[in-house]
Amino acid sequence: MFATNQMIGMDFAFPDVCKSPALVPIPLPDMAFPMAAIPVAIKILFNNAFAHNMMTTIPLTLGDLPGVALGVISQTVASQSRRLVLNSYTTLLFGTPANRMCAGGPQNMINTFGFTIIPSCPHISILAA
């Protein structure tokens, strides 16, 4: 799978069920962009951008903003995104597993589960388990 870094890419989750002003739960898409991430591996560069590992957090997600009465599970809107599963557990960046495309994790705090669907570094492959 392709590595992820601080350049363009996207994490996507659906459905992010949030309450609308009428207090009816509505499923909304939830997107997070790696360009806004807080990187941890600041000395490792993939394509002149910071490499992402399992400790990297994206503090803001978009797409669920119409759910102004907050999320059903997390009681948040536009909260953080992380990648916690399907990382490369044998490729370590700063002591934690490297993130790669198709890695999954919670988005909008814990309201939904999303995956990295658009790679940010398509010419670096992390093939390790």
pTM: 0.86
CB 61 within 8 A of CB 80: yes
Strand, helix or coil for residue 35: helix
Q: pLDDT (tens digit, 9 = 90+) per residue, 41-91?
A: 999 999 999 999 999 999 999 988 887 788 888 888 888 999 999 999 999
pLDDT digits (tens, 9 = 90+) for 4-22: 999 999 999 999 888 888 7
Pairing of strands 57-58, 49-51: unpaired
How far is 88 from 66, CA to CA, in rounded Å?
35
